[in-house]
Amino acid sequence: MLQVTLRQKTGLPDRREEEEGRNEEKQKNKYVGQQSGALERREEKRSPAANPSTFNANSGTRHQEVLAADCFSHLLTDLKKAEAISLAIDSSCDRTDMEQLSVFARFFDGKTFWEELLCLLPLTGRTTGEIIFTELTQFFVKNGLYVGKIVSIVTDGAPSMVGQHKGLVSRLSAANPALLAFHCIIHKSVLCAKLCGKMKETMDTVTRLVNFIRESSSLQHGLFRAMLDEMSAEHKDVLLHNDVRWLSKGREFKMFLIDNDMMGYVFFLCDIMSHLNCLNLQLQGKNHTLRTCTRQLKLSGQRKLHFPRLREHCEKNNMGEDQVMQDFVSSLAKNFYERFECTPKLSSDILLFLRQPFSAKKLWPSIDEAALQMDVLEMGTSDVLKAQHRDVGVNDCWINMVPQARFRNTRAIAMLLLTMFPSTYICESSFSSMNSIKNQDRNRLSNAHLDQCLRIVTTEYRPDIRSIASSQCCHFSH
């Protein structure tokens, strides 16, 4: 009581009041700190220099969708104007075992030829010819395209594609009787070199040995490479072989040469597969025409085959000619002749027309023969066209030198032939890009987004960035 009385008389503050004042000051400082921190964070969001990553998680997806849609709209516009369309179709499984049907279109837009991804169709369940035909026709109807414009189609020769009654080609031929269907030239060239007998036994032995060295264990593979390095060998490793259409066996044999009396067949296969590998590489690539690929095949058939490794091996071991090797070379030449020269769809008259159109016969059922002969006679009397035809390339000559109004029938045939795909190489190369896009880290990528990403990777169209940017609405944060 005495202390309370003294505090009241002297006017000194009470302890309880002091503690309450300190608590109020702390709460005030805490509130001011929170407000200033929120203000600083808000300023950082508004300042691009302070926070460069101003995009949210969906910005990249929207950009991808817009760019792919712009390229696809340009493609549809040009396809609707084109007079003829050629298709290259092949299928492969992605990382999630989803069958993806890759369809590429080649067409002439009046100025140049284009090879563009038409669609990437996911096929769930069975991949029969009926299902593929249904998916493809639905895509054409949905996008306002006419199936009758398809003049040729090239496939890998699978039963679902070339089946006589239920295949895709037979169903498309019912809708367009003038349709021409081809088996991929690269696939056919690989089938020509099919091994049998002693050659197949030798090839299988080498393949098993190579794959055993590569696949048995990493330690064994490392020791093998160290041994080759110590021996100063020409090759430092062996190639893992699998039976893929595009993989040549020639390079594998080059790295597996052992000098002994029993390796004659290995040296022979090394040389013959090297020749086939060179032919395979010449047939691959974009913007190849049916004429250029068949010309390469014809030149390879006329070229004499040389066997330098086999000759060196025979001279060193005093070996003579082997009848099995002679029979294989004869069989190889026969297979090439039967698969390419005797094919009525690839007659010499049709292929010769692009290079020598001045003495052409009736080539196309839908072209009037009398009108065609009049065009040919008129072209034969033009010395200017003959000189230009010799000096420039085939594509440039028919696009820029031959006027359409004057030589309508001959130019129509040339455009049809130049539009045709020779192989499914472009589909196979797109599968490599597909596996890179939909890898093990992005295996949940949807089919629609996979189609958009692949279109952006493979297209030759340039998106109109200014038009896209001006059509978008900008939303500023508050």
In terms of pLDDT, which residue wins out, 181 or 349? 181
Query: Residue 330: inside a domain, yes or no?
Result: yes
Check whether residue 84 and residue 177 sit in a common domain: yes
pLDDT tens readout for residues 67-80: 999 999 999 999 99
Query: Residue 120: inside a domain, yes or no?
Result: yes
Check whether residue 328 and residue 415 sit in a common domain: no
Check whether residue 255 and residue 397 sit in a common domain: no
Check whether residue 390 and residue 442 sit in a common domain: no
Contact 98, 447 (CB under 8 A): yes
Check whether residue 295 and residue 328 sit in a common domain: yes
How many of the other CB atoms lie within 10 Å of CB of 91? Answer: 20
pLDDT of residue 474: 63
Total domains in the chain come to: 4
In terms of pLDDT, which residue wins out, 252 or 396? 396
Helix axes 264-283, 323-336, angle to 10 degrees: 20
Q: Could you give the C-alpha distances from 177 to 105, 186, 413, in angstroms and in order?
A: 19, 26, 17
Check whether residue 154 and residue 216 sit in a common domain: no
Check whether residue 413 and residue 432 sit in a common domain: no
pLDDT reading at 285 higher than 90: no
Contact 337, 291 (CB under 8 A): no
Closest Cα partner for 170 from 134, 145, 133, 139?
Answer: 133
Query: pLDDT band for position 144 (50/70/90)?
Result: very high
Query: Residue 38: inside a domain, yes or no?
Result: no
What's the distance, CA 297 to chain centroid? Answer: 22
Q: At which residue do the structure tokens 């030239």 appear?
A: 185
pLDDT of residue 273: 83
Nearest-angstrom CA–CA distance, 283 and 295: 10
Q: What percent of the chain has pLDDT over 90?
A: 19
pLDDT tens readout for residues 149-169: 998 999 988 888 888 888 899
Query: Residue 476: inside a domain, yes or no?
Result: no
Check whether residue 330 and residue 428 sit in a common domain: no
Query: Residue 53: inside a domain, yes or no?
Result: no
Query: Residue 43: inside a domain, yes or no?
Result: no
Taking residues 171-178, report their average pLDDT: 86
pLDDT tens readout for residues 182-223: 888 888 888 887 777 778 888 777 777 777 777 777 777 788
Give CA angle at 278 (273, 284), nearest 5°: 120
Query: Residue 39: inside a domain, yes or no?
Result: no
pLDDT of residue 407: 72
Contacts of 358 (CB under 8 A, 6+ apart): 376, 379, 380, 386
Q: At which residue do the structure tokens 């029979």 appear?
A: 327
Q: Which domain holds residue 14?
A: 1-30
Check whether residue 289 and residue 354 sit in a common domain: no
Check whether residue 135 and residue 218 sit in a common domain: no
Q: Specify the pTM.
A: 0.74
Cα torsion 430, 436, 437, 439: sign: positive
Query: pLDDT band for position 43 (50/70/90)?
Result: very low
Check whether residue 216 and residue 333 sit in a common domain: yes
pLDDT reading at 45 higher than 60: no
pLDDT tens readout for residues 361-388: 555 555 566 666 676 666 666 666 666 6
The CA dihedral of 447, 450, 452, 456, to the nearest 10 degrees, is -160
Nearest-angstrom CA–CA distance, 422 and 185: 6
Query: Residue 35: inside a domain, yes or no?
Result: no
Check whether residue 334 and residue 361 sit in a common domain: no
